[in-house]
Structure 1
Amino acid sequence: MLDLGRSFVASVERCPDQIAIVDGDLRLTYAQWFERVSSVAGGLYDMGLRHGDHLLTVLQNSWEMATLHWACQFLGAVMTPLNWRATPEEIDYCATDSQASLLVFQDVSAQAVSESAVAQRLPRVAVQAAPGGTQSFEALLQAGPTQQLLNADADDWSLMLFTSGTTGKPKGVPRRHRHERAAALAHVAQNLYRRGERTLGVMPLYHTMGIRSLLSMALLNGRFVCIHKFDPALVLAAIDSERITNLYLVPTLYHDMIGHPNLERTDISSVRKLGFAGASMNDGLLKRLDAIFKPELFVNHYGSSEVYTCTIEPNAPGKPGSAGKSGINQRIRVVHLGAESGDDLAEVGEEGQIVADLQGDEAFEGYWKRPDADAKSLCGGWYFTGDLGYFDQQGDLFVTGRIDDMIISGGENISPTDIESLLSLHPAVDEVAVVGLPDERWGQRVAAFVKLKGKADAAALDKYCRESSLPDFKRPREYVFVSGLPKSPVGKILRRKIAVGEYEK
Structure 2
Amino acid sequence: MFDLGRSFLATVERRPQALAVSDGAFRRTYAAWLEDIQSVARGLGNLGLDKGDRLLVVMQNRWQMATLHWACQFAGIVVTPINWRSTAQDVRYCLDNGDIRALAYDASGSEAVEACPEARALPRIVVDSTRHDSVTSFEALLGAPGETILRASPEDVSIMLYTSGTSGKPKGVPRTHRAERAAALAHVAQNLYRHDECTLGVMPMYHTMGVRSLLAMTLIDGHFVCVPKFDPLATLEAIEREGVTNLYLVPTLYHMLIEHPEFSSSRVASVDKIGFAGAAMSAGLMARVEKAFQPSLFVNHYGCSEIYTFTIDQRANRKPGSSGRASLNQRIRVVRVGAESPDEILPPGEEGEIIADLAGDEAFQGYWRRPDADTKAIKQGWYFTSDTGYFDADGDLFVTGRVDDLIITGGENVSPAEIENVLSVHPKVEEVVVAGLPDEQWGQVVAAFVKCREPISEEELGRHCVSAGLARFKRPRRYLFVEEIPKSAVGKVLRRVLLTERADQVQAN
Contact kept? 1:485, 1:504, Cα under 8 Å:
no
Residue of structure 2 equivalent to 1:138: 139
Distance, in Å, in 2 between the alignment partners of 1:66 and 1:123 is: 20
Any idea what SS the aligned residue of 2:89 has?
A: helix
Identity of aligned residues (%): 57
Residue of structure 2 equivalent to 1:55: 55
Residue of structure 2 equivalent to 1:301: 301
Any idea what SS the aligned residue of 2:79 has?
A: strand
Residue of structure 1 equivalent to 2:422: 422
Deviations 1:365-388 (A, max 9, x none): 000010000000000000000100
Q: Residue 455 of structure 1: CA displacement? A: 2.7
Any idea what SS the aligned residue of 1:256 has?
A: helix
Contact kept? 1:299, 1:312, Cα under 8 Å:
yes
Q: Which amino acid aligns with 1:211?
A: V
Q: Residue 395 of structure 1: CA displacement? A: 0.9
Q: Which amino acid aligns with 2:462?
A: D
Residue of structure 1 equivalent to 2:12: 12
Distance, in Å, in 1 between the alignment partners of 2:86 and 2:130 is: 16
Q: Which amino acid aligns with 2:251?
A: P
Distance, in Å, in 1 between the alignment partners of 2:390 and 2:130 is: 49
Distance, in Å, in 1 between the alignment partners of 2:88 and 2:160 is: 19
Q: Residue 117 of structure 1: CA displacement? A: 2.3
Aligned residues: CA RMSD: 1.4
Deviations 1:27-57 (A, max 9, x none): 1100110000000000011001110011100
Q: Which moved more, 1:84-93 or 1:125-134?
A: 125-134
Q: Which amino acid aligns with 1:255?
A: H
Contact kept? 1:407, 1:435, Cα under 8 Å:
yes
Any idea what SS the aligned residue of 1:438 has?
A: strand
Q: Which amino acid aligns with 1:83?
A: N
Q: Which moved more, 1:203-212 or 1:120-129?
A: 120-129
Q: Which moved more, 1:485-494 or 1:134-143?
A: 134-143
Distance, in Å, in 2 between the alignment partners of 1:451 and 1:381 is: 42
TM-score by length of 1: 0.98
Distance, in Å, in 1 between the alignment partners of 2:318 and 2:18 is: 36
Contact kept? 2:265, 2:293, Cα under 8 Å:
no
Distance, in Å, in 1 between the alignment partners of 2:196 and 2:324 is: 27
Relative to structure 1, the CA distance from residue 133 to residue 431 in structure 2 (aligned partners, 3 Å threshold; closer, same or farther) is farther
Contact kept? 1:237, 1:266, Cα under 8 Å:
no
Distance, in Å, in 1 between the alignment partners of 2:134 and 2:278 is: 34
Distance, in Å, in 1 between the alignment partners of 2:201 and 2:489 is: 15
Distance, in Å, in 1 between the alignment partners of 2:249 and 2:397 is: 20
Residue of structure 2 equivalent to 1:129: 129
Residue of structure 2 equivalent to 1:36: 36
Q: Residue 149 of structure 1: CA displacement? A: 1.1
Distance, in Å, in 1 between the alignment partners of 2:365 and 2:134 is: 35
Residue of structure 2 equivalent to 1:226: 226
Residue of structure 2 equivalent to 1:159: 159
Relative to structure 1, the CA distance from residue 175 to residue 128 in structure 2 (aligned partners, 3 Å threshold; closer, same or farther) is same
Residue of structure 2 equivalent to 1:66: 66
Distance, in Å, in 2 between the alignment partners of 1:441 and 1:502 is: 19
Contact kept? 1:43, 1:144, Cα under 8 Å:
no
Q: Residue 265 of structure 1: CA displacement? A: 7.3
Q: Residue 319 of structure 1: CA displacement? A: 1.1
TM-score by length of 2: 0.97
Residue of structure 1 equivalent to 2:435: 435
Any idea what SS the aligned residue of 2:110 has?
A: helix
Does 2:77 align with 1:84? no
Deviations 1:242-281 (A, max 9, x none): 1110000000000000001111275211111000000000
Distance, in Å, in 1 between the alignment partners of 2:220 and 2:412 is: 49
Relative to structure 1, the CA distance from residue 504 to residue 140 in structure 2 (aligned partners, 3 Å threshold; closer, same or farther) is farther
Does 2:192 align with 1:192? yes
Residue of structure 1 equivalent to 2:274: 274
Any idea what SS the aligned residue of 2:263 has?
A: helix
Distance, in Å, in 1 between the alignment partners of 2:119 and 2:484 is: 35
Does 2:378 align with 1:378? yes
Deviations 1:65-109 (A, max 9, x none): 000000000000101000000011110001111100100011121
Structure 2 unaligned spans of 5+: none
Residue of structure 2 equivalent to 1:248: 248
Q: Which moved more, 1:365-374 or 1:442-451?
A: 442-451
Contact kept? 2:54, 2:102, Cα under 8 Å:
yes
Residue of structure 1 equivalent to 2:407: 407
Relative to structure 1, the CA distance from residue 135 to residue 208 in structure 2 (aligned partners, 3 Å threshold; closer, same or farther) is same
Distance, in Å, in 2 between the alignment partners of 1:63 and 1:315 is: 33
Does 2:208 align with 1:170? no
Q: Which moved more, 1:174-183 or 1:401-410?
A: 401-410
Distance, in Å, in 1 between the alignment partners of 2:122 and 2:352 is: 45
Residue of structure 2 equivalent to 1:480: 480
Q: Residue 307 of structure 1: CA displacement? A: 0.7
Residue of structure 2 equivalent to 1:316: 316
Residue of structure 2 equivalent to 1:448: 448
Distance, in Å, in 2 between the alignment partners of 1:490 and 1:433 is: 17
Any idea what SS the aligned residue of 1:103 has?
A: strand
Contact kept? 2:23, 2:226, Cα under 8 Å:
yes
Deviations 1:115-145 (A, max 9, x none): 1122122111111117576211011114334
Contact kept? 1:217, 1:223, Cα under 8 Å:
yes
Structure 1 unaligned spans of 5+: none
Residue of structure 1 equivalent to 2:214: 214
Contact kept? 2:38, 2:148, Cα under 8 Å:
no
Distance, in Å, in 1 between the alignment partners of 2:376 and 2:130 is: 41
Q: Which amino acid aligns with 2:307?
A: V
Relative to structure 1, the CA distance from residue 425 to residue 504 in structure 2 (aligned partners, 3 Å threshold; closer, same or farther) is farther
Residue of structure 2 equivalent to 1:458: 458
Does 2:104 align with 1:110? no
Q: Residue 502 of structure 1: CA displacement? A: 7.0
Distance, in Å, in 2 between the alignment partners of 1:58 and 1:410 is: 46
Q: Which amino acid aligns with 1:144?
A: P
Contact kept? 1:22, 1:223, Cα under 8 Å:
yes
**Runs of 4+ residues over 2 Å off in structure 1:** 130-133, 142-145, 264-267, 502-505
Distance, in Å, in 2 between the alignment partners of 1:155 and 1:306 is: 16
Contact kept? 1:233, 1:260, Cα under 8 Å:
yes
Distance, in Å, in 1 between the alignment partners of 2:257 and 2:266 is: 11
Deviations 1:192-242 (A, max 9, x none): 000110000000000000000000000000000000010000111111111
Q: Which amino acid aligns with 2:222?
A: G
Contact kept? 2:278, 2:492, Cα under 8 Å:
yes
Contact kept? 1:354, 1:384, Cα under 8 Å:
yes
Any idea what SS the aligned residue of 2:264 has?
A: helix
Any idea what SS the aligned residue of 1:67 has?
A: helix
Contact kept? 1:21, 1:226, Cα under 8 Å:
yes
Q: Which moved more, 1:215-224 or 1:453-462?
A: 453-462
Deviations 1:173-202 (A, max 9, x none): 000000000000000000000011000000
Contact kept? 1:85, 1:109, Cα under 8 Å:
yes
Contact kept? 2:265, 2:292, Cα under 8 Å:
no
